[in-house]
Amino acid sequence: MKLHHAVFAAALAAGLTAGLATPAFSQQNTLVIAMTATPKGFDPDIWVPGQIESTVNVYEGLTRFGMGGGDGGRSLDFRKLEPHFAEKWTVSPDGKTYTFKLRKGVKSPFGNELSAADVVWTYEKSVWQKRTGLFMKNVDRVEKVEAVSKDEVRITLSEPNRIFLSSLTLHIPTLFDSTEAKKHATADDPYATKWLAANTAGYGPYHVQSVQAGQQAVFVVNPNYVFDKPFYSRVIWREVPSAATRVALVRTGQVQYAEQIPLQQIKELKADKTVKVESIAAPGAATVRMNPKFPPFDKQKVRQAVAYATDYKAIGEAVFLGLGTRARSMLNPPIPGAIEAYHYETDYAKAKQLLAEAGLPNGFETTLEYSTNWWWEEPLALQMQASLAKAGIKVTPKRISSTEMNARRAINSWSIPFLTHLTSGFVPDPSYTMFLTAHCKGGSNVNANCDPKLDKLIDESVGERDDAKWLKIVADAQKEQADYATFVETFLPGTHEVFAACMQGYLWRPHNRLMWKELVCRK
């Protein structure tokens, strides 16, 4: 082959590229989203990548949050609970028994109508599987679930619990179409978990049509969905692992939504008219946690010294690029009852004084462990190193794998003295969030945060039914945690969702995942 033949072939290939380029995908009523990976499963009880992002659009609960929050009433009010798949409910005088009347006409794509038997089956499945659903059942303090009639279900709690109705807004424990699921049950798998991992059987707006692992998943609208039909009747979920490629795709209008875009690019995208960035200071705060099981963090004054020796301004600028919101409590807006309890500002003199009072006038050395669970962990760790050095605290940042971090920070381990972590919860309830993250028995307590005074306040808040008293307890708990000072509250990195410019209808929800049924493209 002569060289000029090769050159000609290359030129021809380049020409072909030009001729074969396709225009933006424009099939109406199809939503194309660029996601990091195709869903690995659809059973809400089993956490695998992509599961929550998909199942919040497939499974819905008995209750929902009403509209009317901040932003001129265009956001959700997390204190307003409304019936969703339940039509109404009654509560016994002792606050322990809830009887739900189910809404008529709630049907799955298979044509089966929601019944009390489905609710009972859902809880039975979660108990059998012993995973996330069981955890939520325990958080809710659910003792018994029984069908009163075909469309009435009674749920009895072991004690009154403010969290219960809020947690029923979630996709877990969810409402399965048990009639369909049972068809796929076997003797070894009585709750059809294998089938439910690969298929969906919910009463929500969408259900999965096909999945090609590593490439795409297609969801179609549930034709029997009981509420307004969504604008998009089909959702194509494309796996686009590279963030840079996702940005290019949303900028050119090839996709209508791109997930997990790094903050550096968010800043640039906010000025780009071809895309729309929706930002909210939620769901959680980037914190640095101290484990009081390990000296010198067992001393309250040392922990307070670390809080004073933190350069918040530098963190806001260098780590969060001016896009974050300063965290002022272990509870973050929009959680009801959040107050500005975290009073620490950068004060190196005060930090040194506290260290001297704690018997460490020359500071101390420690290792700050971080992983890649959240993008900001490494820059925050490096900023903490620079900042704490000014108070004589020598920090060595150490990167560990996410899996190691998850294992060592777990409640049954608690083996990391100093670590980075995001405070957040699925239910925007102060008692739930405080219990989960700061109670000695909390599932997301990653730093052995065991303050008996705080635990008592949290326990009281969970059962308190008088709103005024409850808010007072919640405020006291936040102040107590700020004084206990095991969390260095830095910033709320925020949620920044990137859409094509025409997209409207985005509504932030506590699970922090996109609800496709609310999205509309208006050009």
Partner 1 sequence: MLIARFLALRLAVAVPVVLGIVFLTFMLIRIGHQDPVAMLAGPLADASTYAMIRKELDLDRPLLQQFVTYCAHLLHGDLGRSWQGGAPVLQEIIAHYPITLELVVLAVGLASLIGIPVGIRAAMRPNGRFDQVTRFGALTAFSIPTYWMGLMAILVFFYFLRWAPPPMGRVSLEVIPPPVVTGSVLIDSLISANWAAARSAAAQLVLPVGCFMLLAMAPIIKQTRAIAIEVFGSDYMRFARASGFSRRTLRRMALRNSLPPVLTFLGTELTSLLAAASLIEYIFSWGGLGQWGLNAILQGDFAVVQGYVLTLALSAVIVFLVVDLAVLLLEPRSHRRA
> Which parts of this chain interact with partner 1 (CB under 8 A)?
1-3, 6, 9-10, 13, 16-18, 20-22, 25, 27, 30, 32, 34, 37, 40-41, 46-49, 130-132, 135, 194, 197-198, 212-216, 236, 238-242, 244-245, 248-249, 251-252, 254-255, 400-404, 406-407, 410-412, 443-444, 446
Instruction: In angstroms, give the least distance from the CB of 411 to partner 1.
Output: 7
Of 405 and 473, CB closest to partner 1: 405
Instruction: In angstroms, give the least distance from the CB of 241 to partner 1.
Output: 5
> How many C-alpha atoms does 456 have within 13 Å on its Cβ side?
5
Per-residue tokens: 485: 């000072």
Instruction: In angstroms, give the least distance from the CB of 7 to partner 1.
Output: 9
Distance CA 418, CA 251 (A): 40
- Residues 48 and 68 sit within 8 Å (Cβ to Cβ): no
Instruction: In angstroms, give the least distance from the CB of 341 to partner 1.
Output: 24
Of 34 and 384, CB closest to partner 1: 34
Of 238 and 513, CB closest to partner 1: 238
Of 17 and 362, CB closest to partner 1: 17
* Cβ atoms within 10 Å of 96's Cβ, excluding its own: 17
Q: Where are the extended beta strands (E) located within 196-248?
A: 206-212, 216-221, 234-239
In 46-188, alpha helices (H): 51-55, 116-129, 132-140, 163-167, 178-182
Of 8 and 365, CB closest to partner 1: 8
Instruction: In angstroms, give the least distance from the CB of 146 to partner 1.
Output: 26
Of 396 and 402, CB closest to partner 1: 402
List beta partners, residue 208: 219
Instruction: In angstroms, give the least distance from the CB of 284 to partner 1.
Output: 12
- Residues 428 and 436 sit within 8 Å (Cβ to Cβ): no
For CA atoms 461, 464, 467, 472, give the dihedral sign: negative
Per-residue tokens: 181: 């699921």
Query: Max Cα separation, the chain?
Result: 92
Angle at CA of residue 212, ends 210 and 218, nearest 5°:
35
Instruction: In angstroms, give the least distance from the CB of 39 to partner 1.
Output: 9
Kindly give, in sequence order, each residue whose CB lies less than 8 Å from that of residue 21, ignoring residues fewer than 6 positions away.
Answer: none
- Residues 503 and 521 sit within 8 Å (Cβ to Cβ): yes
Instruction: In angstroms, give the least distance from the CB of 475 to partner 1.
Output: 26
Per-residue tokens: 247: 């940005």
Of 120 and 368, CB closest to partner 1: 368
Closest CA to 78 of 421, 340, 433: 433
Of 87 and 239, CB closest to partner 1: 239
Instruction: In angstroms, give the least distance from the CB of 213 to partner 1.
Output: 7
Distance CA 153, CA 155 (A): 7
Of 31 and 309, CB closest to partner 1: 31
Cis peptide before 160 (omega within 30 of 0): no
Bridge-based pairing state of the strands 275-280 and 495-500: antiparallel
